[in-house]
Amino acid sequence: MDRIFHYQITENERGTTVLDFLRKKGFSRHILSSMKADKEALTRNGQRIGGREQLLAGDYFRVRLLETVDSDGIIPVSMPLSILYEDEDILVINKPADMPVHPSIGNYTNTLANGVAAYLDAKGEHSPFRCINRLDRDTTGLIVLAKHALSAAVLSQAMRSREIHRTYQAFALGETAASGTIDAPIARLNGSLIQRTVDFASGERSVTHYRTLAHCSVFSHLELNLETGRTHQIRVHMAYIGHPLLGDTLYNKTPGTFPRQALHSASLSFVHPITGEPLNFHAPLPEDMQNLLT
């Protein structure tokens, strides 16, 4: 999606070069390189300006960011979307179960990416699918998408810097401790393209914090916070400590009758990539997980 940014240069920013100013705003080297083809990308007080020129206090600095990435062949497919927040820069969606995030073999038209493509196309906002926090097919809850390259770059850096705070709720087999921290490295399981395992020899550092909200018959209701973001982290860690998630056919040898892994992305907190405003989003437990509490 094309995006135009307007800045008024402050006294504290006086003397900053255009390139340094943009880097501080989160414009990556790749984005700056892609902007070179657009001769009207940078203007100061209505006049073109070069990247090495200095900005002056009171300047009105305009930046035009044109979309240069294609849609990767994602087919737009209209479908219901639970959009919790939207502006020019981001989308926050409450994803249902049984919905893959990205297209893959056997899932070409039933993914979140297909639905978002159709939604944006209908608004005339053509943009590639830029997902910041990916969820498994059967994990429900909050997911944030970037509408353009700058918001994607800023949010991706925030994710790497652990500045996007994610809270999950889950139901795990057995009676868990009141709280705990699982610090165990995770690696891909030998011979599998999908499954992960705790591997202290070659795994990447992975840390999950949890607290027990309630004990329900033969399982426990948990709140979990991720310090790192490895694939299947919560599912692997809970199985590792002997409390696999209900319905998790990959890591629970006795998954029971729950139709999917009982995992929900309940809250997301982060700073808006453009405005700097703190944002907090919450999604209630889906109905199937709520029913486990009755």
- H-type alpha helices, the chain: 18-24, 29-34, 112-122, 149-160, 233-240, 287-290
Catalytic positions, written as ranges? 136
Q: Per the structure block, which two tokens stand in for 131?
A: 């997902």
Q: Using CA of residue 180, residue 184, residue 186, residue 191, what is the dihedral sign? A: negative
Q: Can you tell me the distance from the alpha carbon of 129 to that of 265, in angstroms, rounded to the nearest whole number?
A: 20
Written as one string, the DSSP assignment of 87-131 is -SSEEEEEEPSS--SS-BTTBSSSSHHHHHHHHHHHTT-----EE
Q: Per the structure block, which two tokens stand in for 129?
A: 């699918």
Strand 130-131 versus strand 140-146 pairing type: antiparallel
Q: At 293, which amino acid appears?
A: L
- DSSP H/E element including 64: strand 60-65
Q: Using CA of residue 180, residue 159, residue 191, residue 265, what is the dihedral sign? A: positive
Separation of CA 103 from chain center: 17
CA atoms within 13 A on the CB side of 160: 6
Nearest to 110 by CA among 73, 139, 74: 74
Q: Using CA of residue 191, residue 192, residue 197, residue 202, what is the dihedral sign? A: positive
Burial class (CB in 10 A: 0-12, 13-18, 19+), 161: exposed
